[in-house]
Structure 1
Amino acid sequence: MVNEVETYIPERGDLVWLRFDPQAGHEQAGRRPALVISPQLYNGKVGLALFCPVTAKAKGYPFEVEIPAGLKITGVILADQVKSLDWRARDAQFACKVPAGVIAEVQAKLQLLIS
């Protein structure tokens, strides 16, 4: 029998539960939700994925992106805290998908940081 955890490959737009430890300084820590921002083809082939952590405590920072009401995860996406992580080693578990507009907003904020 194939286990769902073994067959799941994170896809851009997924909100997943993920272990962020170890952490340092102002980085998010512990088991928390995160948004997948890299494409599934890359994630599956390499075993890494790009994630933005989610926090329940909005502080009004310019790089926060609000998660719409009605999803299984609530809070804001921290678009300026991008991490490349081994999603298998950090036990990524699918929670839900965000609307395309949320991904577009996160990507726009990332573009401001890297351009």
Structure 2
Amino acid sequence: MQLHQGDIITVNFKDTEGHEQRGQRPALVVSDDHYNRFTRTVKVVAITSHGTDFPLHVVLPAGLQTFGQVLTEQERSIDPQAREVEFIERCPQEVLDKVLDLVTASY
């Protein structure tokens, strides 16, 4: 499956520790398409339906199949071929832009 920046997917976040998000949950692909093709991995940020108001969280707008908050502090690289990944929907560009701003600000 070829994934693209801005895709919302389901991922099984197994093998986690501490405060890392775990289990089957939605995630947003934040790595660009060139990175995804070249490395055959994708960078994702987890999405939760139980988030609290926090400066690093971006709320998904109404009207999407996926609801909740994007946890920009929960970025990780995954191999989509080795995980239970399924495409859900595309993230609106204005939401993706906010997420990318917060992710890149952490570097």
Please identify which structure carries the higher strand content. 2
Residue 5 of structure 1: aligned partner: none
Q: Unpaired runs of 5+ in structure 1?
A: 1-7
2:51 is aligned, of 41, 55, 58, to: 58
Segment drifting more, 84-93 vs 10-19? 84-93
- Look up the SS of the partner of 1:9 in the other structure: coil
Moved over 4 A (4+): none
Paired residue secondary structure (1:96):
strand
Whichever of the two has the greater Rg, that structure is 1
Would you say 1:113 and 2:95 are equivalent positions? no
Please list the CA deviations of residues 12-63 of structure 1 after superposition, one character each: whole Å capped at 9, or x if unmatched.
Answer: 0000001100100000000100000012232133221000000001211110
Q: Distance in 1 between matches of 2:99 and 2:76?
A: 14
Equivalent residue, structure 2, for 1:21: 14
Q: RMSD between aligned alpha carbons?
A: 1.0
Going from structure 1 to structure 2, the CA distance change for 1:107 and 1:53 (only over 3 Å counts) comes to: same
* Separation (CA, whole Å) in 2 of partners of 1:22 and 1:98: 26
Structure 1, residues 72-92: CA drift from partner, whole Å, max 9, x if none? 110000011110111111121
In structure 2, the partner of 1:4 is: none
CA distance in 2, matches of 1:88, 1:62: 32
2:64 to 63, 66, 71: 71
* SS of residue in 2 equivalent to 1:41: helix
Change (3 A) 1:74 1:52: same
State percent identity of aligned pairs. Answer: 32
Residue type at the aligned position of 1:21:
K
Pair 1:96-2:85 in alignment: no
Long gaps (5+) in structure 2: none
TM-score, with structure 1 as normaliser: 0.88
Q: Which amino acid aligns with 2:10?
A: W
